[in-house]
Chain A
C-alpha cells in the first residue's frame, strides 16, 4: 500500500522537526508548510490524506485556513487535526465548530498525534 501523505502546517522549526520525525517513523509521507497561504496552495495542488494544522501562524492563521478548507468542495472530507498552544476551551469549541477533525493541545504526547493521524488518514 502507498504511504499516506500528511501536510504539517507549523512555523516553529523545532516542533516541525519533531512532528516530521514521529510521523515519518509511523510510516507517513510528510510535507511541511510554514504559513497558512502556502499551506492552502499545497492542499489544493497536492493530494493529502490528512493535515496537522497549528493555530498560531503568521499571516493567515489556522482558523482561517481551516475555514477555507471546509469552504472548498475539492477539499471536502480532508481530515484536519488542529494543534494549539493555547488550549483554552473556547479554542477547542471554535475549532470544532469550524470543522476540525481532531484537536490536540501543545505540548502533546507523540503517541497521541500519531494515533489521531493514523486513525483519520486510514479511515479515509
Chain B
C-alpha cells in the first residue's frame, strides 16, 4: 500500500508538470505556429486519448472475462484509420476549412446551419458521454481506493470494494477544476488548444510507458506462472473460435464509429488538426500505438487470474499485481498511467462538450431570450466563458450522477460500450452528409432522434438496473407486460445480447429514417448550398456563401458583434479601415460572410449565423444563384453529355465545313469553267462576224450573192450572240429567282403545239420527221406558258439537232399520269452515253456531235424552269437507242389552290 498523502502529492506534482507543459505549449504556439506542437507525432499521441482508463484497466478486465473480445475495441479504430483514410481526410479537410468547433457544429453546418440539429447532437453527445465519464470516475476512485487500502493489496483485491462516493465526488470536483483551468483557461475560445494537446500527448506517453512497464515486469518476473494459470483463463481466451460472431463484428463497428463520432475524438482528430500530413502519419502511427497498448493485456490478465485470489476484480489487475508483489514503484507508475488515461479523457471530453453546449444550447437560448449582456465586449465574452465553465461542471456532474445511479455491478468495458452505441448515432448523418448531396436536415434530425430514442430505451435506461426510471419487471417483461416492447427484446428479437440488440435496432431506425426522410423532404436552400461545399470540398474551396445569399447589414453593427465575441484586437483585423465614419455604411456581402465565418470559429456556425442575422436587415437569395445551385447536379450530369454532344457537333461541323469547302471549290471551278465557256461561246460568233466584216470591207467589189451571204452570216452570228447573252441572263435570273413569271393556269398542250410549230422549219431543214403520238386532253397546269414553251422548244430542237440517224425521227407523247402532266420527247439519234447522263443538265454541256448553234445552256435553263413549275425533267433510261426526256408537271389543283408566287 501507499500512503494517501504520498499518492495525492505525486498526483499534484504530476498535474503541475502537465500544467507547465500546457502553458509552455501555449506560449510556444503563440510564437511559432509550425513548431513541434503541430508535429504529426504530437497529433497522433493526442488522438490516443481514445485509450482511457477503460483501456488502461478495463482491457485486462475484459480479457480476463471475455477473452479476445477486448481486441475489437482497437481493431475498429485501426480499420478506420487505415481503411477509411479517404473518409477521414475529407472529414478533417472540411473541419479545417470551415473552422469547425465540434461534431455538432459540423453536422449542423452541413445541414444548413440548422440550430435544432446542433442542439440535438449536443444533447445526444452529452447523454452518451455521461456513462463514459462515470467510467473514468469509477476507475479513478477504485484505483485510488486500492492503492491506499490499509489492509494490503491482496486483501483489497479479494474484498469487493464498495464504491466510495465521497472520494468519487472529490475526484469529480478535482477534474472540474482541472478541466476548467486547462480547457477554458483563457478568453481565446476559438483557437486550437495547443497547450492541452501537448499535455495530453505527454499523458499518452505516460500511460503507454506505464502499461508497458507493468507488462514487461509481469512477463519477466511472473514468468514462472503457477501450473494452474491457464486453468483460470476464460474459455474464450484459449479457444477464441466462438468469439468471432455477431458480437465481434458489432463491437468492431461500434469502436470504429466511436473513434470518429466521440466528441473528444472529433476534437483532437478534426478540430485540433492543422495539416493533412498530421493525419497521414496518424493513419499508421495511431494503429501502432493501439497495438503496443494491447501487447501485454493477455499476459497481465493471465498472471492476474493465476496469481491473485479468485474473485479479485480483473479491472484492477494492472494495479493489484504489482501491489501484491510489493512493487510499490511500479504500482505508483500504473496508478499514474490510469490517472493519465482518465484525466486526459475527462479534460478533452469536457472541453469538446462544453463548446457544444455553449454554442448550440446556451447561446441560441440566450440570443432568443435576449439574455446576452450587450453592455460591453468584455461582458459578452465573459458570458461565453462562464457558459463553458458551467457546462464543464454540468458535464462532470452528469457523469458523477450516472456513476451514483448506475450501481456497482457493471464492468468498465460494458459502461464504455453504452457510450459507443450512443455516439454511433451520428455516423449515418456524418457519412451521409459528406457523400450524399440529397441528405436533408430533416432526415438527419429524424435519424439521430430515432436512433437516440431507441438507444435510450434499449440500452441506456436499462443500464441503471431498477434504480432509475425503469423497474426490473419492466426490463424483464416489457412495459405494461407488452412482450414485444421489452427493452432487450424489441419486436421479439432476443437472439442477441442487449448491446448487439440495441445497436441493430437503433442503427436500423436511424438509417431508415435518415434516408427515408431525406428522400421525402427538400433541403433548405442554405442546406443545399452547404451540401455542395461539404460533398465537393476538394472541388471548390474558395467560393463564398455570399455568392448565393445577398444580405444587407450596417458595418457599425457588424463591428459591434465582432467586438463583443472576438475582442477588439481580433475584430480590428476584420475591419481594416476601422468602423466607417458613416454609421449607416452598408457592409458588403463579402464582409458579412467573413465576419460570420470568423465568428463561427468561436461560437459555431449556427450561433454565428444567428448573431449575424440579428443585425442583417434584409436577406435575399439570389434567384439566379439558387437556380444554378438547384441545377448543379443536373448540370454536372448534363455536362459530360454536353461535352460529348459538343464534340459530336464539332465533328459534324467539321465534316459540314469540309463538304461546304469541297462544294465551294467545285462551284469555283464551275465558275471558271463557265467563264471560259462563255468566253469561247462569245468568241466563236465574234470570230465569224469580225472575219466577214473584214472581208466585206477589204473587198468592196465582191459578187452580190457572196456579199449577201456574208452579211447574212454576220446577221445570224449576231443573233446567236444575242441568244447566248439572253440565255446567260435567263439562267442568272432563274438562279437568283427573279425571273418574270406569269402564274396563271393554262393548257400545257397549247404550249407544246406552239413549240412544235416553231421547230418545224428547223426539222424540215435537217430532214427530221416529227411525230405527235398520244395526247393528254383537258389538262390544266399552273405556271408560265411561255416558259414551258421555251422548255419544249429546247428539248425538241436538241432532238432534231443531234439526230444523226439515217431516217431521223422525233416523237412527242403526252399523258396524265399519277396526278401529273407528263410529256416525253424522244428521238432515234445516237442517245446519250452513260457517262454524260448526269452532266447534260449542267451549263454548256452539249451533245457529242459536231456543234451547231446553241450555247449549251438550254437544258440547264429548262431544268430550272421545270423546277419552278414544281415538276421534274429527267433523262429516261435508254431503251432501244436514242434519247428520251421526260417532263412532269403537277396538275392545276383547284381555283383556290396556291400558285407559285
Contacts and interface: CB of A to CB of B under 8 A. Distances in A.
Do A and B come together as binding partners?
A: yes
Contacts of A108: 687, 690-691
Contacts of B716: 14
B686 interface: yes
A34 interface: yes
Interface stretch (B158-166, B214-222, B675-683): B675-683
Contacts of A105: 683
Nearest to B690: A107
B680 A56 contact: yes
Interface residues of A, number: 25
A30 to B, nearest CB: 14
A27 interface: no
A98 interface: no
Nearest to A17: B713
Query: Of B687, B688, B717, B850, which is in contact with the most chain A CB atoms at under 10 Å from its CB?
Result: B687
A115 interface: no
B684 A85 contact: yes
A88 B691 contact: no
Interface in A3-37: 11-12, 14-15, 17-19, 21-22, 25, 34-35
Query: Of A21, A25, A87, which is in contact with the most chain B CB atoms at under 10 Å from its CB?
Result: A21
A109 interface: yes
Interface string B844-879: 000011110000000000000000000000000000
B691 A110 contact: yes
B364 to A, nearest CB: 93
B695 A18 contact: yes
Nearest to A34: B850
A12 B684 contact: yes
A105 B679 CA distance: 12
Nearest to B679: A86
Interface in A96-112: 105-111
Contact of A11 (B680, B686, B692, B850): B850
Contacts of B692: 14, 18
Q: Interface of chain A, helix or strand or loop or mixed?
A: loop
A17 B692 CA distance: 9
B695 A85 contact: no
A107 B683 contact: yes
B692 to A, nearest CB: 6
A58 to B, nearest CB: 5
Contacts of A22: 691, 694-695
Contact of A14 (B676, B679, B698, B713): B713
Interface string A73-95: 00000000000011110000000
Q: Interface of chain B, helix or strand or loop or mixed?
A: helix
B832 to A, nearest CB: 15
Given A85-B679, A85-B683, A18 B850 contact: no
Contacts of A87: 679, 683
A35 B850 contact: yes
Interface residues of B, number: 24
B881 to A, nearest CB: 20
Contact of A58 (B687, B695, B851): B851
B689 A107 contact: yes
Contacts of B848: 58
Interface in A27-62: 34-35, 56, 58
B680 A19 contact: no
A15 B687 contact: yes
A22 B694 CA distance: 10
B683 A12 contact: no
Nearest to A14: B688
Nearest to A11: B850
A18 B680 contact: no
Contact of A19 (B686, B691, B713, B850): B691
A14 B686 CA distance: 11
B735 to A, nearest CB: 24
A88 to B, nearest CB: 7
Given A11-B851, A58-B848, A85 B713 contact: no
A87 B576 CA distance: 85
A87 B680 CA distance: 9
Contacts of A14: 685, 688, 692, 713, 716-717
A122 B717 CA distance: 33
A85 B687 contact: yes
A18 to B, nearest CB: 4
B688 A12 contact: yes
Contacts of B683: 85-87, 105-107
A118 to B, nearest CB: 16
B850 A107 contact: no
B850 A58 contact: yes
Nearest to B716: A14
Given A11-B850, A18-B688, A108-B690, 13 more contacts: A11-B851, A14-B688, A18-B687, A22-B691, A22-B694, A58-B850, A87-B679, A106-B687, A107-B689, A109-B690, A110-B691, A110-B695, A110-B698
25 contacts: A12-B687, A14-B716, A14-B717, A15-B684, A15-B688, A17-B713, A18-B688, A18-B692, A21-B695, A22-B691, A22-B695, A58-B848, A85-B680, A86-B676, A87-B679, A87-B683, A88-B676, A106-B684, A107-B686, A107-B687, A109-B690, A109-B694, A110-B691, A110-B695, A110-B698
Shortest Cβ-Cβ A-B pairs, 10 listed: A18-B691, A85-B683, A14-B688, A107-B690, A107-B687, A106-B687, A110-B694, A107-B686, A85-B680, A106-B683
